[in-house]
Chains A and B, each alone.
Chain A
Amino acid sequence: MKRVFIISTAPLLAGLALAGPVIVANPGLAGKPAADDIKAVFLGQSSALPGVGAVQPGMPKEGKLREDFLSGFVGKSNQQYKAVWTQLIFTGKAQAPKLFESDDELKKWIAATPNGIGVLDSSKVDGTVKVIGGQ
Chain B
Amino acid sequence: MRHFVDGSGFQSGLRSLGLGLMLVGATATASAGELTVSGFGTLGAGKAISGVKQRYFGFDCPCYIANYPDVGVYGNDISLKPDSRIGVQANYRLDGGLSFTGQVTAHGGNDFKPAVDWAYGSYALSDSLTLQAGRKRLPLFGYSDFFQVGYAYPWIRPPGDLYGWQIVAYNGANLLFRKNYGSLSVSANVWAGSESDKGNRMLDLIYYDARVDEKWKSIFGGYVELGTDWGTARFVMMTNKVDRLVAGTVNKSGVKQNFYGFTFNVDQNDWVLRTEINRFVRPDAPKDIYSVYFVGAGRRFGDWLPMLTYSRFTEDFKDDATANEKHNTLAATLRWDFRDNMALKFEYDVFKDKSAFPFVGNSKAVAVSLDFTF
Contact = CB atoms under 8 A, between A and B. Distances in A.
Nearest to B371: A86
A80 B118 CA distance: 25
Interface in B135-180: 136-137, 139, 145-146, 149, 151-153, 176, 178-180
A40 B91 CA distance: 22
A90 B146 contact: yes
Contacts of A75: 229
A83 interface: yes
Interface residues of B, number: 44
Contacts of B152: 83, 86-87, 90
Contacts of A62: 340
A26 to B, nearest CB: 17
Contacts of B40: 86, 90
A95 B127 CA distance: 13
B89 interface: yes
B101 A94 contact: no
Contacts of A8: none
A125 interface: no
Contacts of B124: 47, 54
B180 A90 contact: no
A86 B185 contact: no
Contacts of A82: 151, 340-341, 373
A45 B227 contact: yes
A28 B114 CA distance: 46
Nearest to B183: A36
B93 interface: yes
Given A79-B337, A83-B151, A92-B132, A34 B182 contact: yes
Contacts of B87: 90
A92 B122 contact: yes
Interface of A: 1, 34, 36-37, 39-40, 43, 45-48, 53-54, 62, 75, 77-80, 82-83, 86-87, 89-96
